[in-house]
Structure 1
Amino acid sequence: MVQLTGADGGAIEVGVSPDGDRVIAGPTATGGQTPAAGEANLDYTAAAGIVLTEVPGGRITDLKLVVEKGGTYVWEADVVDASETRRAVDVDAVTGRILQNTPR
């Protein structure tokens, strides 16, 4: 397991493959106000798959589950696309619908 700390000070743990190439478990909350993945239909792995389908050849540099105003769960991803452009990609954590895919 790897422990990550978000900007809000909340920590999450994710399991990574032995080669460090992919997430195989998590995230699970370990402190702070980070929402638990169980409160959304999409887990980390499913959200990452949707993001990488949306940005073919992309590389996720950050992916976190957040609660938007009004209680909507959203996976927020920072992605570097094939042309090295940084992109913000948001995925509805309940439906899997892309909410945003914009250059940063």
Structure 2
Amino acid sequence: MNKTIIGALVGATVLAGGCGTVLREVERLSVRSSPSIGTPTATESPTGPATSATGMLPDLDALKQAARAALGAVPGSTLISIETEENGRLWEAQVVGKDGTEHQMDVESGKVVSGPTTEEEDAEDKVKHRDRVAAAKLDYAQAADKIVAAVPEGRITELNLDREQGKTVWEADVVTPDGTKHEVAVDAATGTVTRNNSART
């Protein structure tokens, strides 16, 4: 908006309503012409991590919050898998109890909304779960931090504790803002990134 029009509006407003109205009109015009209005920004919550203007947690914080809720639903368990569903609104999580039994649940906004349900598995599957958990020196949160450091601005959509080339690894699918999908693996014992492949989706 050019200065002549703003000047005319301010002058007319002064004549019509006085100085208080002028200030309100100037504020209204400056807000209307500001390019940053309407852009989501992070705000610090007094009780937790920053949230976006939509009220959703940043991606890594949302993953960790969902994981904590899943672990709380099965005391003494270890998270082995977490995957985002419904465009990040819902998380599907699997945890393993001390005996190797797998439990699955859905988490939304830091609360378990479905489950936990116990998976029907045989003794061999339970041994595999226990072995992987025992071999992992990094938990899900440490692995997620390593993965995000390897793929700056990446959003983890899936994270699993698995075996790859004889080693226990945390595998992740990561998407960057430009649409590139990364498949990242982190050695669960050492924290070393062992794989980082990418492809445009």
TM-score by length of 2: 0.38
Which residue in the other structure is 1:63 paired with? Answer: 159
Root-mean-square deviation (Å):
2.2
More helix by share: 2
Whichever residue aligns with residue 35 of structure 1, its letter is H
Which residue in the other structure is 1:51 paired with? Answer: 147
Partner deviation per Cα, 1:50-80 (whole Å, 9 max, x = no partner): 000111111001100002343x101110000
Gaps of 5+ in 2: 1-56, 72-77, 80-94, 97-101, 103-118
C-alpha change, 1:81 and 1:73, in structure 2 (3 Å) is same
Which residue in the other structure is 2:62 paired with? Answer: 21
Q: Determine whether 1:41 maps to 2:82.
A: no
Moved over 6 A (4+): none
User: In the TM superposition, what is the alpha-carbon distance from 1:40 to its structure 2 partner?
Assistant: 0.7
More strand by share: 1
Work out the number of aligned pairs and report it. Answer: 85
Whichever residue aligns with residue 86 of structure 1, its letter is K
User: In the TM superposition, what is the alpha-carbon distance from 1:21 to its structure 2 partner?
Assistant: 1.3
Whichever residue aligns with residue 44 of structure 1, its letter is Y
**C-alpha separation in 1, matches of 2:181 and 2:157:** 9
Percent identity over the alignment? 36
Q: Which has the larger radius of gyration?
A: 2
DSSP-derived class of the 2:196 partner: strand
Greater shift, 89-98 or 75-84, is seen at 75-84
Which residue in the other structure is 2:197 paired with? Answer: 102
Which residue in the other structure is 2:91 paired with? Answer: none
DSSP-derived class of the 2:143 partner: helix
Q: Decide whether the 8 Å contact of 1:35 with 1:66 is kept in 2.
A: no
DSSP-derived class of the 2:129 partner: coil
TM-score by length of 1: 0.69
